Amino acid sequence: MSYSAFHHVDGVLHAEGVSAIALADQFGTPLYVYSRAALTHAYEAYARACAQRRASVHVAVKANSNLAVLNVFARLGAGFDIVSGGELARVLAAGGKPANIVFSGVGKSADEMREALAAGVKCFNVESIPELDRLDEVARAVGKKAPVSLRVNPDVDPKTHPYISTGLKANKFGVAFDEARAAYRRAATMPHLDVIGIDCHIGSQITEVSPYLDAVDKLLELVEQIEADGTMLHHIDVGGGLGITYDDETPPDTTLFVRTLLDRIEARGHGHREVFFEPGRSVTGNAGMLLTRVEFLKPGAEKNFAIVDAAMNDLARPAMYQAFHAIEPVTSRPDAPRVYDVVGPICESGDWLGRDRSLAIAPGDLLAIRSAGAYGFVMSSNYNTRPRAAEVMVDGDCAYLVRARETVRELFASETLLPE
């Protein structure tokens, strides 16, 4: 049974030592709630498995980029995996060390490259030949040498949703496996690049170890070919993507997962290299929930609707991926449950948060949408001119506002009317 900081006390859902009712009363809804204890527990499972091994953890910022969340990880000694200049600025503001930052992403601009070189990031994960050319030129212009690994697409099926599969031939990410050796030869000739590693990332919400082992085996074969060509590689980045339990998924235990991959790398004779892990969802997903209040119950001929004050702009995953999130009342009622589609106020038929849920609820009740700590607030928008939710971090018996709720006026403060 996985650790959870969310539990019921006298019939009321709590986040650590704080009642969800008290959180909603103090901070309003919709409200993202994170548990510091859950974030810490999830990260330390990786850190313990990497201890005494040549391995390090770089948290994927794209899963949850709130400064307080990043600061929790920074205090624990985490490195970070970023995909934009904005994420670089966030990590630095949260206390992350530049020397522990890996810069991934397919479309790095010249400005972002300059910012990362100036900060002194650990490595650029480069995803194409044109990006190699650009990085070499930018590094030359600023008088630096850029540390580089190439993200190789191993064409391994991660057995996940097609939108979050990233390691197949049809995906936009990485250098094709068959072209990677030649790409490394070319990179080695560029005077302002320092080729130091190899990288892959095959997808997200992966619940089996076997796709990772397949990818590692292919990477290690390629490493041996690259080194035969004269380029020595110091690290292997196996990416992230380990899944969590949203409903009935059974992802592998984190410690077992990490040790299985490290054991395979060592058994293949590559234990002298450092191994990078880049967890995102698996360290943040089940450390957060989204609180929302029922506005109306609307019976229909074919469907009953529970209309709540959260919407697809607050949590995009159900509409985007048909993703499942458990939804439960914060307090239980003795009434017989009815089956509802839980939907928001957005003017779109696709605005739903859960379908066919059996719930005993009334207008005004609070619902908790679970497993919302990853790809929740970070993917939210202002569609229909809706202010984004507030974010709160619970630490024991204390709750801290870590992002204030937006106001409507803030949404158009930077816009102007045409002159008369």
Q: 82 forms bridges with which residues in the sheet?
A: 103
Report phi then psi at 288, rounded to 5.
Answer: -140, 155
Which of 50, 123, 200, 347 is flagged as catalytic?
347
3-state secondary structure of 24: helix
Residue type (1 letter), 145: K
For 39-72, give the DSSP string.
HHHHHHHHHHHHTTSSEEEEEEGGG---HHHHHH
Task: Find, among 331, 317, 342, the residue nearest to 365 by Cα.
Answer: 331
3-state secondary structure of 150: strand
For 420, other C-beta atoms within 10 Å of its C-beta total 3
Task: Find, among 87, 143, 79, 80, the residue nearest to 117 by Cα.
Answer: 143
Q: 152 forms bridges with which residues in the sheet?
A: 175
For 50, other C-beta atoms within 10 Å of its C-beta total 19
| Crossing angle of the two packed helices 110-119 and 129-142, in degrees rounded to 10 | 60
Spatial separation of the C-alpha atoms in residues 345 and 43, rounded to whole Å:
36
Q: Is 398 a catalytic residue?
A: no
- The structure tokens 């458990």 sit at 326
Question: b/e string for 306-318 if b means 16 or more Cβ within 10 A?
Answer: bbbbbbbbbbbbb
Q: How many residues does the chain have?
A: 420
**Region for residue 251 given its phi and psi (left: phi exceeds 0; alpha: psi -120 to 50; beta: otherwise):** beta
Task: Find, among 135, 136, 125, 279, the residue nearest to 199 by Cα.
Answer: 125
From edge to edge, which strands make up the β-sheet containing 18-19? 6-9, 12-15, 18-19
Q: Which residues does the annotation mark as catalytic? A: 347
